[in-house]
Structure 1
Amino acid sequence: MSRWAAGWSSGVDLCRMTVDTPALLKDILGPEAVTTIADAGTAASGRFDRQAFVRAASDGLDSLSIMERVRHIADALHDALPRDHAAAFDILRAMAPRLTHGFQAIAITEYVARHGLDDFDRSMDALADLTRFGSAEFAVRPFLARDAMRALATMTRWATSNDEHVRRLASEGARPRLPWAARVPALKDDPTLAAPILDILKADPGLYVRKSVANHLNDIAKDRPDWLLDRLAEWPRDDPRTIWIIRHALRTLIKQGDPRALALIGVGHGAEVTVRRFVIEPRQVGLGDRISIAADLASNAPGNQRLVVDYRVHYARAGGKTAPKVFKLKTFELAGGDAITLAISQTIRDFSTRRHYPGLHEVELIVNGRTMATAAFDLLPG
């Protein structure tokens, strides 16, 4: 597995980075990264203009976000590389193994996207080579936007590559809702366009690839749920790798309690269980406090049942409104007549994607898509 695969999962999964994440994400592409890229270029070729690169890359860098820095460094590379694409791409290929972080490599793939759009075949070949060091999932998007059918034809060939990073790029780069990436008009209009790629990869041996396929399918679920359910119903179930993809691809629909999605993973809609207890403690909390959620379930069925147990928090919002969010609790087999206690804790804190407001927060216990109990906690004003 490459440095990149160990450091980046799918759709900007930053929890697997190979270095300690700095206080600010943008600092991953700070002055030290500029020096590292400059060193790589100098070692790769005498035609690399180190002074021009460092001057252009350093100018105004501090005020930029992480993805703005990616583009800024890519443009600085343009000042340092030969104008001939073949020569420039060869230097990038020689630079890539000398880089020390996936985001540095993303910057050099971005050079291909920003300066190679008119040299389609050569550029796509370069992205397939460079994706081993820093995923080219963002860099391939402009090629999809320019000519979706031509790009998808190339990416379908990538799906048969012996290199798992190239196969993963075929799926990840064509995701309809790829995080941090611009939407591709053709994929926005028809998020199923990459279906032939997903069919090729439906039993891929690489978990790195399967995660991307599942995420891609989950993107489709948000716009074309019926298409997704019909498609997955046709996939064979004799390979555990395919079953894994199906389960993870259906996670949004399962959280919504979709009966067809539940059936595809062998779960009935609703369950023969009694909820003996569903409690949240403490009942009153402040921001930063932790709540504990516990449920006692007892089976009313004579035989085993497969249960998908989730909980939905209705977050208080300004003006008396609420915003629901579903969390996974546990998926398991419950034997006939048996009982089980489930418990989980959760800290109530603000995130960049979620701000908490004081007020009553109702919580539902959902078993196989059906609400079976409710409880609540009060978030006190700060």
Structure 2
Amino acid sequence: MAKKLKDYYDENYVIDLATKLQSVYSPFNAKEFIAEVRDDLENQEFTGRQVLIARTLKKYIALNYEETIDLFSKILGPELEGSLGMFTEGYWLWPIGKYVELYGAEHFEVTSLFSKELTKRFTGEFCMRPLVHHYPKQAMELLLEWSKDENKRVRRLASECLRIRLPWAKKLYVTLDYFDDYVTLLTNLKNDEDKTIQKSVANSLNDLYKEAPEKFDVIIKNWQEEDLSPQTAWIIKHASRTKEKHAK
């Protein structure tokens, strides 16, 4: 039987995380942290475990938000090579991301900078979505910059955090309110050779079709009026899967 996703975040995981934190923050009471998480861990499914660990981290790290993020930065480790590995090598960072998602919405600069670094080791779209919700204009300006970043993981983040129907997240409709910026951002990425970015753009467009098919059609029509690169052609085909299903 395949290992369930929630089971990667078991007692051994909590011990490893506590050890990492205590190595860079001596006041951290690893023993009490582990005991408190362990008491409720088995009662929780995947999302519940992320929230449990994040909330308990907040309780046992006696620092403000900015200081806590600085602490987390010290245990991130090296950047992952290429564009894969976010859910294999980087999986252990998920509760750290959940902490940022839960408590970072009022700290635009600190949270966005950390999300950019986190995505190089794991993924950062869940951290960024509260910022996109609370500071849409400022966030869109930043994401437009990230869509042209030299790091492919950062470019993917620019697209992924804007998905209307991102799995494990609440719906986010900023793309409809800032549609021109959204179009520019996806256009910046439509010829990207990285497959994870192509999938992110296609999935974002597929989400868009489900909410606003007329806006989806505007983007696809404009792209089809140009000479299509193989990358853009693949994105259009993958993005149109729901539309084609409805047409049958």
- TM class, shorter-length: 0.7 to 0.9
1: CA distance, partners of 2:39 / 2:198: 40
Structure richer in helix, relative to its length: 2
**DSSP 3-state at the match of 1:97:** coil
Aligned residue among 192, 200, 203 for 1:215: 203
My pick for the range that moved more, 245-254 or 45-54, is 45-54
What corresponds to 1:53 in structure 2?
Answer: 33
Number of equivalent positions: 237
8 Å contact from structure 1 (residues 218, 252) kept in 2: yes
What code does the residue aligned with 1:252 have?
Answer: T
8 Å contact from structure 2 (residues 115, 124) kept in 1: yes
What corresponds to 2:133 in structure 1?
Answer: 145
Deviation at 1:115, TM superposition (A): 2.0
Aligned residue among 217, 238, 245 for 1:255: 245
Q: Deviations over 1:308-329 (max 9, x none)?
A: xxxxxxxxxxxxxxxxxxxxxx
Deviation at 1:191, TM superposition (A): 8.5
Alignment of 1:266-345 (within 5 A): none
Q: Mark the CA change 1:47 to 1:167 in structure 2 (over 3 Å): closer, same or farther.
A: farther
8 Å contact from structure 2 (residues 111, 127) kept in 1: no
Q: Deviations over 1:360-381 (max 9, x none)?
A: xxxxxxxxx5xxxxxxxxxxxx
2: CA distance, partners of 1:200 / 1:125: 21
TM-score, normalization: structure 1? 0.57
**DSSP 3-state at the match of 2:167:** coil
8 Å contact from structure 2 (residues 50, 94) kept in 1: yes
Structure 2's unaligned 5+ residue stretches are 79-86
What code does the residue aligned with 1:164 have?
Answer: K
Q: Deviations over 1:198-231 (max 9, x none)?
A: 1211111211111101000010111222221221
Deviation at 1:29, TM superposition (A): 1.1
TM-score, normalization: structure 2? 0.85
Structure 1's unaligned 5+ residue stretches are 1-19, 258-368, 370-382
Q: Deviations over 1:108-165 (max 9, x none)?
A: 0121122222221111100110112221222222222222222222222221111111
Structure showing greater relative contact order (alpha-carbon pairs closer than 8 Å, 6 or more residues apart): 2
2: CA distance, partners of 1:73 / 1:216: 30
What corresponds to 1:374 in structure 2?
Answer: none
What corresponds to 2:93 in structure 1?
Answer: 105
1: CA distance, partners of 2:137 / 2:32: 37
Q: How many percent identity over aligned positions?
A: 29
What code does the residue aligned with 2:241 have?
Answer: R
Q: Deviations over 1:39-90 (max 9, x none)?
A: 2213344354423432333231111110111111111221333423333222
What corresponds to 2:17 in structure 1?
Answer: 37
